[in-house]
């Protein structure tokens, strides 16, 4: 045991928030939100193999986030260094202007960062995780460390709830629904079932059965948790009743997950990264 708890540690708001499994729904919400930035979504569409291997990409992204949150200092730096090197080799073409741009432009990295951390926080709070206003701002401030890992200057990144709201207000004129946005949203809502997943009955069940309908409900909840202005860009309603329905759904999902985890053996109730971090901290 090294005692190295990485960037945050057991007393951080970040650990308090990310021990909640419902944040996986926040990750899905962030993808819907990020896709509304024309350059950001074009960069993904032109460089990512997500359509060929969506579940693999999801697992790799989840592993990266989990490592940043719960990994040791060395593990975090190794993961971040690998990501920066990957981004440095990538470019894309703006479909509106024909201009070629780098994937690691600060404006794009900042958008992805803010959309992700705000989605995690908003999903947790609307699911019933109790945070004080100071803890909300504390989470955004702690996440400046994550922003720095991808190459951003922390001084240029929103670090409080008020700054995040101002950032969204300022960037909204740049956002909109493009063909890449619509295709990404459809893909997130109705993803393909990998051919190698089990026998034919299992694949049919995931494609046509209750599992497919359950996932559609999860995707609808993630989309319903979007800000009203983002839902309107996708052609959805911006009504307060939609927010209420999403709140009820995400709270129900959190309760369902808690019930399932409570029935499992202790070692399966948290991610291996979280468990390893607790062991390093002497809190296993």
Radius of gyration of the chain (CA): 19
pLDDT of residue 77: 97
With a CB cutoff of 8 Å and minimum separation 6, the contacts of 162 are none
pLDDT of residue 90: 95
pLDDT of residue 201: 46
* Residue 192 located in a structural domain: yes
If you average pLDDT over every residue of the chain, what do you get?
90
pLDDT of residue 2: 58
With a CB cutoff of 8 Å and minimum separation 6, the contacts of 82 are none
Per-residue confidence at 210, pLDDT binned at 50, 70, 90? low
* Residue 149 located in a structural domain: yes
3-state secondary structure of 190: coil
> What mean pLDDT comes out for the span 88-101?
94
Residues 6-32 have pLDDT tens digits of 999 999 999 999 999 999 999 999 999
* Residue 92 located in a structural domain: yes
Residue 211 has pLDDT above 80, yes or no: no
* Residue 220 located in a structural domain: yes
Instruction: Provide the number of structural domains found in the chain.
Output: 1
* Residue 32 located in a structural domain: yes
* Residue 78 located in a structural domain: yes
Residue 57 has pLDDT above 80, yes or no: no
Per-residue confidence at 53, pLDDT binned at 50, 70, 90? low
CA distance 59 to 66: 10
Domain of residue 202: give its range.
Answer: 13-275
CA distance 140 to 165: 12
For residue 7, the 8-state DSSP code is: T
Longest alpha-carbon distance in the chain? 55
CA distance 194 to 257: 24
Residue 237 has pLDDT above 90, yes or no: no
pLDDT of residue 106: 97
Residues 254-281 have pLDDT tens digits of 999 999 999 999 888 889 999 999 999 8
pLDDT of residue 52: 67
* Residue 122 located in a structural domain: yes
CA distance 97 to 99: 5
* Residue 5 located in a structural domain: no
200 versus 220: which is more confidently predicted? 220
Of 119, 107, 181, 120, which Cα lies nearest the Cα of 150?
107
CA distance 94 to 97: 6
């Amino acid at each position: 045991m090294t005692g190295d708890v990485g960037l945050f540690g057991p007393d951080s708001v970040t650990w308090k928030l990310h021990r909640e499994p419902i944040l996986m729904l926040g990750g899905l919400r962030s993808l819907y939100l990020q896709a509304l930035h024309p350059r950001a979504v074009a960069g993904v569409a032109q460089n990512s193999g997500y359509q060929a291997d969506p579940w693999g990409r999801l697992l790799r992204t989840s592993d990266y986030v989990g490592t940043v949150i719960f990994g040791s200092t060395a593990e975090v730096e190794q993961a971040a260094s690998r990501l920066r090197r990957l981004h440095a080799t990538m470019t894309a073409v703006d479909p509106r202007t024909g201009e070629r741009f780098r994937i690691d432009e600060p404006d794009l990295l900042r958008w992805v960062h803010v959309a992700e951390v705000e989605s995690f926080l908003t999903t947790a709070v609307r699911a019933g995780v109790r945070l004080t206003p100071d803890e909300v701002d504390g989470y955004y401030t702690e996440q400046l460390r994550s922003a720095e890992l991808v190459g951003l200057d922390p001084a240029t990144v929103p670090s409080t709830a008020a700054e995040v709201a101002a950032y969204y207000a300022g960037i909204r004129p740049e956002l909109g629904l493009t063909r890449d946005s619509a295709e990404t949203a459809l893909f997130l809502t109705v993803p393909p079932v990998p051919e190698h997943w089990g026998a034919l009955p299992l694949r049919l069940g995931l494609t046509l059965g209750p599992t497919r309908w359950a996932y559609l409900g999860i995707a609808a909840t993630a989309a319903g948790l979007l800000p009203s202005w983002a839902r309107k860009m996708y052609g959805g309603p911006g009504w307060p009743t939609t927010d209420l329905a999403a709140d009820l759904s995400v709270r129900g999902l959190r309760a369902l997950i808690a019930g399932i985890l409570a029935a499992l053996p202790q070692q399966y109730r948290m991610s291996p990264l979280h468990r390893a971090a607790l062991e390093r901290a002497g809190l296993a």
